[in-house]
């Protein structure tokens, strides 16, 4: 445009090339330091090198962006310049607004600039001769290169982005049509970041590349947990400081310097763990206890499938050793008090009896069906409970089955017998009730009259 041509005429010139080039008037919404580095590095002569590319905000851009944060894009500032294109004549508002947006988008290219540093003026001159005036991919903008005098100091300490080496994984500039390539100008002030849009919509080529890209847009998943834990540690550290600082009296001055030695750290961890544990409900505390037990290599017997088999032939195929069974027995004894924990501090007789009865029945089952050390351990613990709680004997022995009940006729009646007890089933347990059922079936079988055998012959 005419304005651009006028600005080019106003650019001062220098007699000798320098090792620094300034890149201006690019579509900075889509062009990054990595893009410039990759493109310009292709034109560096052999034996020379490209050191760095800094994309920094100009003073003009800093002032404009500060106003846009408050008032939005200042399209009205370009109305007068837009009307000059029509020599002051009548113009449709839509056409005028379209031109105002186009002028605003061109002005946004002055918000940033890039400083490219080479190894020598020769390298910078070769890049300038081959690249200046060439289009940057399909962004609708061209490279506008300017030599930076050696005595000119530019503040590049806080770049928007920086590139000092060839990227390991590089994707070309996002192909986003600019206002100079469209018949209807589009305002880019609140548009989605083209790089982000490209990353979220493309098909990933590999898992590593996916993780590399996503790391730029996702915060660590445990950030909130770490913040809460650090906050809790800070609270207790302040308490420790207060206690120690309050101790000195009189003229004696003692200055406390906090340091996370092992003792202080352990105390803080214990206090934080206690506070978190107290905040849990009784059910959550039970689940936490089971989780800790599993983390130590112990298996909760309630979570294991029952696979007891009384057959001696299969005894060697038992996957659980006697030592593991003893550990399960000890953990099962602890689980007998789960009812008390769930009930909280309630110590009524009904709750205590149910918990102890449940524990005794588990021990009785193990004393019958287990073998070796596991059976001895279960028997000893069961005897201890029976000696301590006399009422348990009546509860454990009072499990007789009424075999005369008509509801069980399909099991005991010889004529209508339709079911049998499979003692080899994994869920079968030998108890006093099961022994009573087996004895009744044997008695019913012996009481059945023998049927006369059929005689073969001719009448």
Query: pLDDT tens digits for 92-105?
Result: 777 777 788 888 88
Determine the pLDDT at residue 203. Answer: 66
Q: How far is CA 412 from CA 1, 144, 381, 443, 444, in A?
A: 106, 102, 36, 9, 7
Span(s) in the chain for CATH 3.30.70.330: 2-191
CA atoms within 13 A on the CB side of 106: 18
Instruction: Give the pLDDT of residue 229.
Output: 60
- Cα separation, 436 vs 400, whole angstroms: 8
Given a contact cutoff of 8 angstroms between Cβ atoms, the answer to whether 38 and 166 are in contact is yes
- HSE-CB of 54 using CA atoms within 13 angstroms: 15
Q: Which residues of 362-388 are buried (b: 16+ CB within 10 A; e: fewer)?
A: bbbbbbbbbeeebbebbbebbeebbee
Q: Which long-range CB contacts under 8 A does 404-412 form with residues at least 24 apart?
A: 411/437, 411/441, 412/440, 412/441, 412/444
How many other CB atoms sit within 10 Å of the CB of residue 32? Answer: 21
Whole-Å CA distances, 403 to 131, 417, 427 = 102, 13, 22
Residue 15's SS3 state is: coil
Best CA proximity match to 142, nearest among 313, 223, 24: 24
- Alpha carbon distances (Å) from 260 to 63, 125, 156, 388: 46, 57, 39, 49
pTM comes to 0.44
Nearest CA-CA partner of 308 in 325, 294, 290: 325
The pLDDT value recorded for residue 316 is 46
Question: Which residues of the chain, if any, have pLDDT below 70?
Answer: 1-12, 88-89, 174-182, 192-195, 197-200, 202-265, 267-268, 272, 275, 277-278, 296-353, 393-403, 408-419, 429-432, 447-459
Q: Which fold has domain 2-191?
A: Alpha-Beta Plaits (3.30.70)
Give pLDDT, residue 226: 53
Alpha-helix runs per DSSP H in 42-92: 59-71, 79-84
């Amino acid at each position: 445009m005419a304005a651009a041509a006028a600005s080019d005429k106003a650019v001062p010139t220098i007699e000798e090339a320098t090792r620094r080039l300034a890149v201006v008037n690019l579509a900075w919404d889509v062009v990054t330091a990595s893009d410039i580095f990759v493109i310009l590095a292709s034109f560096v002569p052999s034996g020379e090198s490209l050191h760095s590319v800094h994309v920094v905000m100009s003073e003009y851009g800093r002032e404009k962006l500060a106003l846009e944060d408050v008032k939005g894009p200042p399209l009205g500032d370009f109305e007068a310049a837009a009307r000059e294109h029509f020599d002051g004549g009548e113009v449709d508002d839509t056409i005028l607004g379209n031109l105002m947006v186009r002028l605003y988008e061109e002005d946004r290219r002055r918000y940033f600039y890039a400083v490219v540093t080479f190894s020598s003026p020769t390298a910078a001159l070769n890049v300038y001769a081959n690249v200046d005036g060439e289009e940057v991919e399909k962004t609708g903008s061209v490279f506008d290169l300017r030599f930076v005098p050696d005595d000119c100091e530019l503040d590049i300490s806080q770049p928007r982005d920086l590139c000092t080496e060839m990227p390991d994984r590089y994707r070309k500039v996002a192909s986003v049509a600019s206002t100079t390539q469209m018949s209807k100008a589009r305002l880019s002030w609140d548009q989605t970041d083209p790089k982000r849009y490209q990353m979220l919509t493309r098909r990933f080529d590999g898992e590593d590349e996916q993780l590399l890209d996503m790391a730029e847009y996702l915060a660590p998943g445990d950030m909130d947990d770490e913040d809460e834990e650090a906050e809790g540690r800070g609270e207790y550290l302040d308490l420790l400081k207060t206690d120690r600082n309050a101790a000195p009296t009189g003229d004696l001055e003692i200055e406390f310097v906090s340091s996370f030695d092992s003792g202080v750290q352990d105390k803080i961890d214990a206090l934080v763990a206690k506070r978190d544990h107290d905040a849990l409900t009784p059910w959550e505390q039970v689940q936490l206890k089971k989780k800790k037990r599993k983390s130590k290599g112990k298996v909760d017997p309630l979570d294991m499938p029952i696979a007891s088999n009384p057959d001696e032939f299969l005894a060697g195929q038992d996957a659980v050793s006697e030592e593991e069974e003893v550990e399960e027995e000890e953990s099962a004894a602890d689980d007998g008090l789960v009812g008390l924990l769930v009930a909280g501090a309630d110590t009524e007789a009904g709750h205590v009896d149910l918990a102890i009865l449940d524990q005794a029945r588990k021990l009785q089952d193990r004393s019958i069906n287990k073998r070796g050390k596991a059976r001895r351990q279960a028997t000893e613990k069961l005897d201890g409970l029976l000696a301590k709680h006399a009422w348990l004997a009546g509860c454990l022995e009072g499990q007789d089955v009424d075999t005369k009940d008509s509801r069980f006729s399909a099991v005991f009646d010889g004529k209508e017998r339709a079911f049998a007890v499979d003692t080899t089933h994994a869920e079968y347990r030998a108890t006093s009730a099961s022994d009573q059922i087996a004895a009744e079936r044997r008695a019913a079988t012996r009481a059945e009259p023998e049927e006369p055998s059929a005689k073969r012959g001719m009448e």
